[in-house]
Amino acid sequence: MSDHVYNVLFLCNANSARSIIGEAILNRIGSGRFKAYSAGARPKGSVNPYALQLLESLSYDTSFARSKSWDEFSGPDAPQMNFIFTVCDNTADESCPVWPGHPMTALWAVPDPAKASGTEAEWHLAFADAYRMLNNRIAVFTNLPMGSLDRLALQEHLDVIGREAPQPS
């Protein structure tokens, strides 16, 4: 892969929390090398307020955040994706659109913080855990030597990142 800006799509069912968080993180730490997007199989239509609150507390600009369908990214006018990461188990079983350009894909399952229960503190903790997992995976991903890995080796790294949730170095 050459030294250009890589387009990355984070997929989830509702596109209201995990995929939005992934989009925000990658656009911050991968700025200049990566452009992140997010979408859902069945978008909720709104972003989870806990996700917005978490991102804002970490000084992210959340003006980008909106819940949208993955159909926006499968048409001829959509940006061509280099990578697509599914961040929830359920979407992995969905019938995905055919993506132009045959992007590399990986399952980076993260527990759904929107399914948390309990106190307000427990809700915030669930979202913070999802953020931490995504941040760690994205940090490792952005540090991969893209130019020196062939597709097979790169795919192996993407799969390992999703399975092992490594810590950034």
The CATH number that applies at residue 113 is 3.40.50.2300
Distance CA 128, CA 131 (A): 5
Query: Residue 1's pLDDT is what?
Result: 43
Query: Residue 104's pLDDT is what?
Result: 94
- With respect to residue 168, please indicate whether it lies within any of the assigned structural domains: no
pTM value? 0.91
Q: What is the pLDDT along the chain (169 residues), one digit of tens a residue?
A: 446 899 999 999 899 999 999 999 999 999 999 999 999 989 999 999 999 999 999 999 999 999 999 999 988 889 999 999 999 865 545 556 667 778 999 999 999 999 999 999 999 999 999 999 999 999 999 999 998 999 999 999 999 999 875 444 4
- With respect to residue 83, please indicate whether it lies within any of the assigned structural domains: yes
Domain that holds residue 60: 6-162
Q: b or e along 2-21 (b: 16 or more beta carbons within 10 Å of the residue's beta carbon)?
A: eeeebbbbbbbbbbbbbbbb
Total tally of structural domains belonging to the chain = 1
- With respect to residue 1, please indicate whether it lies within any of the assigned structural domains: no
Query: Residue 90's pLDDT is what?
Result: 59
Query: Residue 167's pLDDT is what?
Result: 47
Distance CA 29, CA 47 (A): 21
- With respect to residue 122, please indicate whether it lies within any of the assigned structural domains: yes
Q: What angle do CA 104, 107, 109 make, to 5 degrees?
A: 150
